[in-house]
Structure 1
Amino acid sequence: MKKILTATSNDVIITTVQNACKKYSAYFETDVFSDTEQIINYIDYQIPEIKVIDFSDEKVDAKRILAAIDGDPWLHYGGIIAVCQNARMISEIEEKKNPNIVSVQTVKEFTKHFNRLLRILWQNQQFLYTRGMQDVIGGQESGSFICGNDPMDIRFYTNFLVSYLYNTNRISDEDRFNLQMTLMELLTNALEHGNLEISYEDKSKWMNQGGDILQLIGARAAMPQFSNRRIYISYTIGKVKSAFKIKDDGNGFDWKTRLNKDTTTELHGRGISLSQSMVSDLHYNDKGNEVSFEITNIRNTVNNVPGMLKPFDTVSYKDKQVVCRQHEVSNDLYFIVSGRYAVYSGRKLISVLTPNDMFIGEMAFLLNDRRSATILAVGDCKLIRIPKQDFLSLIRRNPHYGIFLSKMLAQRLIRQTDKTLELANKINEITRVN
């Protein structure tokens, strides 16, 4: 069951979320708060996957809530749907380019579109709480989305993909920004110049006259010849690289001219050149209605270190160096900053830990027991060593860290149970055959 935080006192927003949750009652449930302290405490304790925050509600300090989420990497799961009073407020929020916000809408738009957003989230639940999931599904994922002629869809799918890659440690902070900019630019290009056939000259004239580009897009999208066109987004997320393809239903455009033209002094039209500098192997098909590109993953290499842990000692390990030995007395907890770690019981390799596993040594830490396994560094690695007493003090000040640790252990148990069931099924099949 996925949690939805509804942070507002607006009955219209509350009713919209509650009605949508009833439709998907097996997957989502919502809790409603309008007090800022309660909201922040709820986020800390429950770590909800979806957060609907009303930025127009005077009772809700949305900026403070957003700062609390931004300040703790462990809260960067799922996404935020920001609800605003008007277009001006939307522009102010979008200018900040906060990657944790997956959609920004007015109250009117929210009541109209939230069912659709929740349906998309329901259909793609792996994006909501995904740390460690790639270990279950084998390290490669492929999928696709169909996007309508709505700028809101573009922002939603962009943040959807970027947040997923970031939260699963496949891209760095810099890569996160570059990928977000690239997807936004290329999808906007597919919408405006592809499906809606807005030429560079048309857009320039409209903007020079002080027109709102969203109004132009809305007017063109309502035209019968354009209304049924769609944008198709496909992706393959692998161990080393991730590939993306964007295709529109338009007649194509002269992308070669745009790439070869100096656009540094132009009002707009720099998207393709900018994107080409941010990602690898970007190319269009001859028609100009399909573009693809790649990025290099940094999977399982670096973790985001919460600010609370930065005062503790960072310990570096070389290849095959021992982190801890089986049966030794020690209950320090280790936060995985980078690298991979081989886990041995006796001489048998039983697991490999990565930054997705977050911690090493939690069993001895929780049970006051001896180390249950020997752990060796695989290549160059870094850990943050946290003495038990210090971590307990940390949990007293930040109780949600304890809840996060519990969730992580539960995820590990689920993965191990799945592997055990899979092995049992294979054994049963072999037994039946024999």
Structure 2
Amino acid sequence: MKKVLVTSTNPEILEVVKESSLKYSKSLDAIFCPDTDEALSLIDYELPEIKVLDFASPDIDCDRILSAIDADPWLHNGGIIAIAKNGREVEEISNRKNPNILIVETVSGFKQNFDRLLRVLWSNQQFLFNRGMQGRMGSEEIGSFICDNDILDIRLYASFLVNYLYCSNRIDENTRYALLATLMELLTNALEHGNCGISYKDKTDFLLSGGDIIDLINEKRNLPENINKKIKIDYLIGHEKSTFKITDEGDGFDWKAQIASYKPGVTEAHGRGIALSKELVSALRYNDKGNEVSFDINNIKNKSNNVPGIMIPFKTIIYKKHEIVCSQNEPSTDLFFIVSGRYGVYANGKLISVLTPDDIFIGEMAFLLNDRRSATIMSADEGKLIRIPKVSFVNLIRKNPHYGIFLSKLLAQRVLRQNRKTLQLQAQINELKNS
């Protein structure tokens, strides 16, 4: 069962969450917390997947809660829905560009949108809950989303995709912001100019008259001819690169002329979307009609793990290619946190697995069972490990019990993956026997 932590003293907020969570009562548990210290404790022990932080509640120090989450990468599971008291505070919180915040809403916006927000989050759990587990994703991820003509849907799905790549160690911080900016620009174009049919002149005239573009979008998207239009987001996340495709149901546009007419250094109120996107990602391409755009980003192989602050005092060891980390049958006195690199696991001289930063630890089984090493670990290339003595790790868990919970989840995931591999091998063996 997934958990939603709600830190708010606003009765209206609490009532909205209670009503919405009833629809998911069999699989979602809402926890209401009006106290800052209690919220911090619950985050440590319960590891809630969704955190609702009400910055408009004066008795709750949401900045302190947010700082605690930011300071510890192992608390970055799921995401945060932030509530602000007004539009100015929404802008202030959004401008922090905090990677753990999925969306910022005013109190009225939260009351209006939370039910749909919860539905969208719940139907896309694979994008929301991956951070806490940092599990490996397999060989290739292929899928798609269907967005309504709605700016909230666009913001959510863009955040999901970017966070998925970031949390699975495929992109770094700089690429994360570039990708988010590109997705938002291209999705907004699909909504405004594609499905809503808002021309460059329409938008310019409306903005110059003091209008808010959101009002114009809402007006156009609710027209009978536009109300049922959708935006499709296709994604393919591979080892070397990730590819995205955005398709709207509009009439398209002359993208070749748009690119040809762009002049660097010319400042305009809007209309730089294509040029901006080309600067941020690679291989931006359109179909002939102009209602479908695709682009690629290069993934980072074996990206380094974020190091929890509490582990920084321990010794960091740099390994060169083919150096031995630990040997089979030797006593287990240390646990290793993988910062970067790849490490071969050899049992009786045979390679049985390769560990990367996605695996987080080396040697945890023998470490926890007080057993000897069951395999030899050798670096496949240059990398960094943090060596944690057994006594220090036990004390670390005593001070930070949620690390023990995280380790338990990690081990459970490994057992599950191994069981799946065993079943696949058994199926192949049975198939060979019957052939």
Is TM-score (shorter-chain normalized) higher than 0.5?
A: yes
Change (3 A) 1:133 1:307: closer
Of 282, 285, 290, the residue aligned with 2:292 is: 290
Correspondence 1:273 to 2:280: no
Q: Which aligned pairs between 1:181-200 and structure 2 lie closer than 5 A? A: 181-200=181-200
Q: Distance in 2 between matches of 1:359 and 1:421?
A: 25
**Alpha-carbon spacing, 1:422–1:17, altered in 2? closer, same or farther (3 Å):** farther
Report the alpha carbon displacement of residue 294 of structure 1 after superposing the two structures with TM.
0.5
Per the alignment, residue 369 of structure 2 pairs with 367
Alignment match, 1:80: 80
TM-superposition CA deviations, 1:67-106 (whole Å, max 9, x none): 2222222222221112233333322222222222222223
Q: Which runs of 5+ in 2 are unaligned?
A: none
Q: Is the 1:302–1:339 contact (alpha carbons within 8 Å) kept by the matching residues of 2?
A: yes
Task: Give, as a single letter, the amino acid of the residue that structure 2 aligns with 1:285.
Answer: N
Q: Deviations over 1:303-328 (max 9, x none)?
A: 11222222332212222211100111
User: Within 5 Å, which residues of 2 pair with 1:134-153?
Assistant: 135=136, 138-153=138-153
Give 1:410's aligned residue. 412
* Equivalent in the alignment of 1:352: 354
- C-alpha distance in structure 2 between counterparts of 1:269 and 1:307, whole Å: 43
Q: Separation in 1 of the partners of 2:203 and 2:94? A: 21
Question: CA separation in 1, counterparts of 2:23 and 2:325?
Answer: 49
AA aligned to 2:418 is Q
Are residue 176 (structure 1) and residue 196 (structure 2) matched? Answer: no
Distance 1:27 1:420, change over 3 A: farther
Give the structure 1 partner of residue 217 of structure 2: 217
- Over the residues paired in the alignment, what is the CA RMSD in angstroms? 2.2
Q: In the TM superposition, what is the alpha-carbon distance from 1:429 to its structure 2 partner?
A: 5.3
Three-state SS of the structure 2 residue aligned to 1:409 is helix
Superposition TM-score, scaled by structure 2 size:
0.92
5+ long unaligned stretches in structure 1: none
1:354-404 per-position Cα deviation (integer Å, ceiling 9, x unaligned) = 111101121233233322211111122221122223333333333322222
Secondary structure at 2:44 match in 1: helix
Alpha-carbon separation, structure 1, partners of 2:134 and 2:144: 18
Decide whether the 8 Å contact of 1:206 with 1:213 is kept in 2: yes
Deviation sequence 1:226-262 (CA, Å, 0-9, x none) = 2222211110011111100011111122333443312
Amino acid at match of 1:115: D
2:190–2:291 Cα contact (<8 Å) kept: yes
Q: Which moved more, 1:66-75 or 1:112-121?
A: 112-121
Distance 1:161 1:27 in 2: 23
Higher mean C-alpha deviation, range 418-427 or range 378-387: 418-427
CA distance in 2, matches of 1:391, 1:133: 20
Q: State how far apart, in whole Å, the 2-side matches of 1:29 and 1:301 are.
A: 34
Q: Does structure 1 conserve the Cα–Cα contact (< 8 Å) formed by 2:367 and 2:390?
A: yes
In the aligned structure 2, how far is the partner of 1:297 from the partner of 1:114?
33
Match of 1:252?
252
Contact 2:338/2:356 (<8 A) preserved: yes
Sort the Cα spacing of 1:67 and 1:268 in 2 relative to 1 into closer, same or farther, 3 A.
farther
> Following the alignment from structure 1 to structure 2, what is the Cα–Cα distance between the partners of residues 364 and 272?
54
Hey, what's the Cα distance between the residues in 2 that align with 1:192 and 1:106?
23
Aligned to 1:93: 93
Q: Structure 1 residue 237 and structure 2 residue 255: aligned? A: no
Q: Judge which range, 324-333 or 18-27, deviates more.
A: 18-27
State how far apart, in whole Å, the 2-side matches of 1:425 and 1:168 are: 29
- 2:217 partner letter: I
Shift of 1:134: 6.8
Aligned partners of 1:192 and 1:198 also within 8 Å: yes
Q: Tell me which moved more, 317-326 or 86-95.
A: 86-95
CA contact 1:100–1:159 (8 Å) conserved in 2: no
2:192 & 2:418 partners in 1: Cα distance? 47
Q: CA deviation at 1:133?
A: 7.5
SS in 1 for 2:226: helix
Deviates more, 1:272-281 or 1:414-423: 414-423
Change (3 A) 1:133 1:88: closer
**Do the aligned partners of 1:168 and 1:299 also contact (CA within 8 Å) in 2?**
no
Residue in structure 2 matched with residue 379 of structure 1 by the alignment: 381
Deviation at 1:35, TM superposition (A): 0.7
- In 1, are the aligned partners of 2:346 and 2:352 still within 8 Å (CA)? yes
Report the Cα distance in structure 2 between the residues aligned to 1:73 and 1:398, rounded to whole angstroms: 13
Residue 379 of structure 1 aligns to a residue whose secondary structure is coil
Which AA in structure 2 matches 1:216?
A: L
SS in 2 for 1:227: coil
Equivalent residue letter for 2:201:
E
Q: Are the counterparts in 2 of residues 282 and 292 from structure 1 also a CA contact under 8 Å?
A: yes
Query: 1:339, 1:404 → 2: CA distance?
Result: 22
Please state how far the C-alpha of 1:160 moved relative to its aligned partner.
0.7
Residues 389-408 of structure 1: matches in 2 within 5 Å? Answer: 389-408=391-410
Aligned length: 432
**1:307 and 2:318 equivalent?**
no
Query: Separation in 2 of the partners of 1:217 and 1:26?
Result: 37
Contact 2:135-2:413 at 8 Å conserved across structures: no
Counterpart of 1:34 in structure 2 is 34
Task: Give a deviation string over 1:27-46, Cα, whole Å, max 9, x none.
Answer: 32221111111112211222
**Displacement after TM superposition at 1:430 (Å):** 5.4
Kept in 2, the 8 Å contact 1:331–1:361? The answer is no
Q: Is the 8 A contact 2:322 2:381 kept in 1?
A: yes
Is the 1:134–1:140 Cα contact (8 Å) retained in structure 2? Answer: no
Partner of 2:334: 332
Say yes or no: does 1:162 pair with 2:162.
Answer: yes
- Equivalent pair of 1:331/1:370 in contact (CA under 8 Å): no
For residues 150 and 211 of structure 1, what CA distance do their matches in structure 2 show?
Answer: 18
TM-fit CA distance, 1:141: 0.8
Structure 2 CA distance for aligned equivalents of residues 111 and 367 of structure 1:
50
Percent pairwise identity: 57
Distance 1:127 1:373 in 2: 34
Q: 1: CA distance between counterparts of 2:293 and 2:252?
A: 11
* Alpha-carbon distance in 1 for matches of 2:366, 2:323: 20
